[in-house]
Amino acid sequence: MDMEKKKVAVIGALNVDIGGRPSGPLAAGDSIPGRVGVTLGGVGWNIARNCALLGADTSFFSLLGRDEHESAIRAESQRYCVNIDGCRWEDGPNNRYLYICDENGDVAAAVNDMALCGRMDTAFAARCLDALAGAGAVVTDANLPAATLAYLGENLAAPLVADGVSVGKIGRLKPILHRLHTLKANLQEAEAVTGRTGAEDCIRALLDAGVKRVVLSLGPGGVVCGDEAGAFPVPSVHTDVVDATGAGDSMTAALTVGLVRGMSFSDCAALGVTAAGITVANPGAVTSALAVLRP
């Protein structure tokens, strides 16, 4: 395979994750003993690290803050072999994401402070275009402003993969659905952007809008995929859940890496489900255990 086609570019969010997991059931209005940790995350950054772990030559593009976490960001980029030369640094804090899991590891509540993403405007995207053009696929997430996503959709020739991120943000992708090669979303996000109900109706609406491949996550129920050949389910990998954070990001990464490897859609989906299963079986949003899936 042409090595150039193994290159993946990710343009999206990096943030500081502050997360807590109680040792027992959550109780509203009460303080529960447990563990609190601070790590680096963000949909885009998680996807970039996962792509690198899966063997792709990965570059990351974002707006980052020169705060107390700058050295950690630079160290992680070296540790995971993710190129961050395309990032722009500003004085001030990085994005922050505060979440609390329940005793099973599922996110119970979260607050995001993503001010830097709002400043990733079309001028920023324009400066990234030449570098993005060298990738076999470009991944973006719906944390970017709608105008920036529209600009990328209009100007990128490489296959574009998108992650819906959340019910409140996936609507930003609506104007560029016709430019998306692959869209990964959960069912609630898909229903929000299409106005339809149920996986099959959502997939049909997204394909009619121009998306080539649709992957809808049903959580423990696996995924439902669809393209012009039809829809098909892929069951989840049964495992003990340690931390559900980042499962969707690892799936998006695997779908992208499978795409640049030239894998069939069904094999890409299977790789995505396997990657998500490995991720939830390990602590943290990104796990080095994914390297077992490298070719």
Mention every residue, 6+ apart, whose C-beta is less than 8 A from residue 78.
none
Looking at residue 184, its pLDDT comes to: 98
Higher pLDDT among residues 101 and 72, named by residue: 72
For every residue of 97-161, which 3-state class applies, written as one string?
EEEEECCCCCEEEEEEECHHHHCCCHHHHHHHHHHHCCCCEEEEECCCCHHHHHHHHHHCCCCEE
Residue ranges per domain, the chain?
3-284
Instruction: Average the pLDDT over 69-93 and give the result.
Output: 97
Looking at residue 244, its pLDDT comes to: 80
Looking at residue 78, its pLDDT comes to: 98
pLDDT > 50? residue 2: no
Instruction: Average the pLDDT over 32-52 and give the result.
Output: 95
Looking at residue 220, its pLDDT comes to: 86
Report the predicted TM-score, pTM, of the whole model to 2 decimal places: 0.91
Return the CATH fold of 3-284: UDP-N-acetylmuramoyl-L-alanine:D-glutamate ligase (3.40.1190)
